[in-house]
Amino acid sequence: MNNAFLFDNFEEEKPQDNQEEIARLTRMVEAIDGLLKTKDWQTLEELHFSKENGRIERLLLSETKKLQVDDKEIYRLQGEEKWAKRYADIRKWAEFLKNQLTELKHGN
C-alpha cells in the first residue's frame, strides 16, 4: 500500500479547512466593521450593552453576599458576564478575531 498517497490527501485537506476558517473570520471582521459604523449599533451599545455588564456584576456581587450561595446561579451569571463583556466592547472582539485570522494566515 502506498502510504504517501494517504498523507498527501490529509495535508491537502487541512489548508482547505484553514481557508474556510480564514474566509469565515474575514467575513465576521468585515461585518463588525460595518456594524460599528451604524448609528443603530451605537444606540444599542449606549442604551443596552454598556449597562448590561454592570447589571450582571451587581447581581453576581449580590449572589455572593447571600448566606446560602447558589453555585449554579453564580456560574450562570459568570457565563452571562463573559457574554456581556464580549459584546459590550465589540471592537475588542473584532481585534480578537483579527488576531486569530493573523495566526491562521501565518500558520502559528
Alpha-carbon span 78 to 61, nearest angstrom: 11
SS3 38: coil
- Chain mean pLDDT for the chain: 83
The per-residue pLDDT for 105 is 85
Confidence of residue 38 (pLDDT cuts 50, 70, 90): very high
pLDDT tens for residues 59-105?
Answer: 999 999 999 999 999 999 999 988 888 777 888 889 999 999 999 88
pLDDT at 89: 82
Full DSSP string of 71-99:
HHHHHHHHHHHHHHHHHHTHHHHHHHHHH
d(CA 12, CA 69): 52
CA distance to 32, 76, 86, per residue, from 73 (Å): 31, 5, 20
